[in-house]
Structure 1
Amino acid sequence: MDNSVVIVGTGHAGVQAAASLREEGFEGPVILLGEELDLPYHKPPLSKTFIKDAEAKPQPLRGEVFYTGNAIDFRPGLRVERIDLAGRQLELAGAGALPFGKLILATGSRPRLLPLPGADLAGVLSLRSLGDARLIREISAGCEDVVILGGGFIGLEIAATLSAAGRKVTVVEAVDRLLGRVVAPAIGSHVRQRLEAMGVRVITGTTISHLEGENGHVTAAVTSSGERLPARMVIVGIGVVPNIELAAAAGIETGNGIRVDGQMRTSAPDVFAVGDAALYRHWLTGDDARLESVQNATDQAKLAAKTIVGHSGGYGAVPWFWSDIGDMKLQMVGLPTGGDSHVISGDPAENKFSIYHYAGDRLLAIESINKPADHMLGRKMIGAGFSPSREMVAAGTDALKPALAAFEQAQSATAVG
């Protein structure tokens, strides 16, 4: 019987799954398949240092010696065309079939396409891969005007980076505020103010009707109200779509992602899914969730490896995220879904504050700007199930730390008793 584990995808989830299998003592073959030719790399820096610095190099997730030293069979430049569950093998484009004992799908996600006239013009780009970042860096070096469609994390990170590099940047967001899907209005408003102060033009509540071009290259984005926004480069950041097609075609259960249970198993025996593409019932909210973050990818990959070697624990990682936008380090912990009130700690005028989200008296999430201590303590509090009073929050971390310690001591005493 084949005892190999084949991993499809070489992002954070795929590479961590390979590493964790070895850390957990798995001794069978580990094969890591990726479509890109580069050594697997960190994606967060692509929207920041990499695109503004012509000399910047990609940051490998692991050095080449990691793969050879741990007997991980890394195979770049391969695309999986089909999963044959009955035959327990993968059909590879131009490379025959590859059998597997167990399969981990770390297929990630891809940028949502822009359904507009002119979207196929040169200079209209999205950022998801190293190749995308190289192209953005190359074109931005020779252009003055950039239009970014979408006021989410990626779009705003790029906006801040290119503006700091001297480009005239306009952000166009269809809804009435930035980061509307992911953070509190106060955070979105603060981010907008800081971006505008550094010269970024932000237009909300507006859509683009079409893109104009000349000689096959984009020259402008035209808004629904008829305003013409000059642009030698248009970056599309309107969200992502999970890569579920391989799983769906094989008959594996999917929805807004590849559905998995608490141990990262899909509906198919010996097939797992982790990372951006995995859809699961979140322990914090009780609702279906598909989280797009390095933390989620890493923790799910670790759990899948544990499951494969025989551990039975479920997924209970505390979700946390971050984004660097100009001079703002935005950090989030927990999920604010279902919140009915919040408390602000710190001073937005100083560009240092946190928003604590509550449902009744239960702490759900904390969003921080340039308050790393709040974030780190928040990860501990939510992980422990501790909800501080609003008075404690107002008193700051000096009050929260001993309160958390006392809560954990009481919990430990109760468990022992």
Structure 2
Amino acid sequence: MSTVTVVGASLAGLYAARALRGQGYAGRLVIVGDEPHRPYDRPPLSKGFLTGAADRAALELADPEEERALDATWLLGVRATGLDPGGRAVRLADGRELRTDAVVIATGATPRTLGGVDLAGVHTLRTLDDAEALRADLSGGPVRVVVIGAGFIGAEVASSCRSLGHEVTVVEAAAVPLVPQLGPEMGAFCAGLHAAHGTALLAGTGVTAFHGTAGRVRGVELTDGRVLPAEVVVVGVGVRPRTGWLAGSGLPLDDGVRCDAGGATPLPNVVAVGDVARLDGHRAEHWTSAAEQPAVAVRNLLAGRTVATGTGLPYFWSDQYGVRLQFAGRTRSGDTVRIVDGALTEGAFAAGDGFLAVYERAGRPVAALAANRPRPFTRLRRELARTVRGDPADGADRADRADGADRARAVR
């Protein structure tokens, strides 16, 4: 291979570039990104960056010295619009066509929106530009914020807004938040975190309309007829993989790019990683997956066949109201939950409060959830990684849908 093109300049794309150089690829390396920014970390956008505790410099994933060592051609601020059916050329929105010998698809995902909304003050949160726009709307003093969707992004935004002194209401279509990811008992615990910190959670209802004056949002109308006053609205109803540019490429597209367990696609010399990749029937929208998948996919790309598969245990974390939640494993409906350390307390956590819960199936541990218990969780996570094997036939694994379960639950 004389040229490899990485399409996507976020976490998965950067890690793919690192893996290519780390595994000995010395040819031309091109990195295409539709955002004008160098690779940055997304998790702080809903937390420290939104509150002002972290600045843009704290988000950077690679320093200038590392970027020079990658010896890559960076094409930023330009969108990929097509991949030829043989995978040997990438078309760009500015009319250029990049001839290439191999492609790493790392285009990630884009937020789902609620149709027909064109009002100032209504936000989604996925990119740095999204976060800066939302932060600006929150900077003029206390406002009334409505967050639509009580998934992890919605919960983190609500937590950040409360810490800034804003009045916050979270609207959730499900009766209990996060049940697809954590189950009803732990979902109820997360609902309690909102209540304990002064955030109103309206569950079991959806959104029918937005009200506005002079082009700016002023209220959110619910399916039960209520209208919630709002100067700022954040829509957090999941994401969809960015595969539109791959139409006509010959790649199988089904809630992402369908790959084998090593990230290889049916097209020779084309692999996919990160949020856009559906590996062996699963698509994981986690930071850890986006960081770990590229090394495996690149190894297979350079070998010309699948010689390695991912073996990592699904893992994600979330920070809400000063509580660090960590989850690892795969669960199914019907698994039992047992507290093995600490106590499942209601209300605000005092210093030292927390718990470690184990999900069990037929008496065997399959997953773990911790709240402010990082050390025992890490030990249990290692044990699970040694003993737990995911069932590829189980399409209902909660861990594989953690950040994107909202995508399957339309706001009514």
Residues 347-370 of structure 1 show CA distances to partners (whole Å, capped at 9, x for unaligned) of 022641122112213321111111
Q: Counterpart amino acid of 2:118? A: D
The answer to whether the 8 Å contact 1:339/1:364 transfers is: no
Q: CA deviation at 1:227?
A: 1.3
Contact 1:339 1:358 survives alignment (8 Å): no
Indicate the SS of the match to 2:195. Answer: helix
Matched, 1:342 2:344: no
Compared CA separation, residues 223 and 89, structure 1 to 2 (3 A):
same
Residue by residue over 1:57-84, the C-alpha shift from the partner in whole angstroms, topping out at 9 and shown as x without a partner, is 2511111221212212222111111111
Aligned to 1:319: 314
Q: Please report how far the alpha carbon of residue 150 of structure 1 lies from its aligned counterpart in structure 2 after TM superposition.
A: 0.1
Separation in 2, partners of 1:176, 1:122: 29
Cα distance between partner residues in 1 of 2:55 and 2:126: 17
- The 2-side partners of 1:54 and 1:39 are apart by 21
> 1:174 maps to which residue?
173
Give the letter aligned to residue 55 of structure 2.
Answer: A
Q: 1:88 to 1:385 in 2, by over 3 A?
A: same
CA contact (8 A) 1:264 1:272 kept: yes
Question: 2:319 aligned with 1:333, yes or no?
Answer: no
Distance 1:272 1:42 in 2: 22
- Retained in 2: the 8 A contact 1:259–1:280? yes
CA distance in 1, matches of 2:247, 2:384: 35
Q: 1: distance between equivalents of 2:67 and 2:112?
A: 32
Q: CA deviation at 1:87?
A: 7.1
Instruction: Map 1:194-213 to 2 at 5 A.
Output: 194-213=193-212
1:84/1:250 contact within 8 Å kept? yes
2:365 to 358, 363, 366: 363
Distance in 2 separating the partners of 1:55 and 1:242:
28
Of residues 16-25 and 336-345 in structure 1, the stretch that sits farther from structure 2 once superposed is: 336-345
Match of 2:300 among 307, 325, 329: 307
2:356 to 349, 354, 357: 354
Quote the Cα distance in structure 1 between the aligned partners of 2:63 and 2:54. 20
Q: Amino acid of the residue matched to residue 183 of structure 1?
A: L
1:3-402 paired onto structure 2 within 5 Å:
3-53=2-52, 56-58=55-57, 59-86=59-86, 88-115=88-115, 119-142=117-140, 144-281=143-280, 288-310=281-303, 312-337=307-332, 339-345=334-340, 346-349=342-345, 351-385=353-387
Determine helix, strand or coil for the equivalent of 1:305: helix
Paired residues of 1:54 and 1:137 also in contact (CA < 8 A): no
CA-CA distance at 1:25 after TM superposition: 1.3
Report the Cα distance in structure 2 between the residues aligned to 1:75 and 1:135, rounded to whole angstroms. 24
Aligned amino acid, residue 348 of structure 1: L
Pairwise CA distance, 1:291? 0.5
Alpha-carbon distance in structure 1 between the residues aligned to 2:180 and 2:54: 34
Partners of 2:54 and 2:324 in 1: how far apart?
24
TM (normalized to structure 1)? Answer: 0.87
Letter paired with 2:228: L
Say if 1:4 and 1:337 are closer, same or farther in 2 by CA, change over 3 A.
farther
Q: Which has the higher contact order (CA 8 A, sep 6+)?
A: 2
> What's the offset of the Cα at 1:55?
7.3
Contact 1:150 1:237 in 2 (8 A): yes
Q: Deviations over 1:92-136 (max 9, x none)?
A: 111411011110100111111213x5x221111100000000000
Structure 1 unaligned regions, length at least 5: 282-287, 388-417
Listed one character per residue, the Cα deviations across residues 1-55 of structure 1 (whole Å, up to 9, x for unaligned) are: x521100001111000001111111111111110111111000000011112187
Please, which runs of 5 or more residues in structure 2 have no aligned partner? 390-412
SS across alignment from 1:36: coil
Q: Report the residue type matching 2:241 in the other structure.
A: P
Q: 1:338, CA displacement in angstroms?
A: 5.5
- Whole-Å separation in 2 of the counterparts to 1:179 and 1:381: 25
Structure 1 position 339, deviation (Å): 5.0
Structure 2 Cα separation of the partners of residues 87 and 50 of structure 1: 38
1:57/1:337 CA distance change after superposition, 3 Å: same
Return the index of the structure with the highest Cα Rg. Answer: 1
Percent pairwise identity = 32
1:384 counterpart letter in structure 2: R
Amino acid at match of 2:371: I
> Aligned equivalents of 1:363 and 1:17: distance in 2?
33
Structure-2 separation of matches of 1:249 and 1:50 = 38
CA apart distance, 1:305: 1.6
Q: Residue 261 of structure 2 aligns to a residue in which SS? A: coil
1:85 deviates by 3.0
Structure 1 residue 86: Cα displacement: 3.4
Q: Which amino acid aligns with 1:171?
A: V
Shift of 1:307: 1.4
CA distance in 1, matches of 2:312, 2:192: 33
Tell me, yes or no, if the aligned pair for 2:34 and 2:76 is still in contact at 8 Å.
yes
**Does the aligned pair in 2 maintain the 1:67–1:73 contact within 8 Å?**
no
Residue pair 1:47, 1:154 contacting (<8 A) in 2 also? yes
Match for 1:325: what amino acid? Answer: Q
* Amino acid corresponding to residue 324 of structure 1 in structure 2: D
Q: Distance in 2 between matches of 1:263 and 1:53?
A: 39
Aligned residues of 2:32 and 2:75 also touching (Cα < 8 A): yes
Question: CA–CA distance in 1 between the matches of 2:385 and 2:94?
Answer: 47
Amino acid at match of 2:200: R
Letter in 2 for 1:347: A
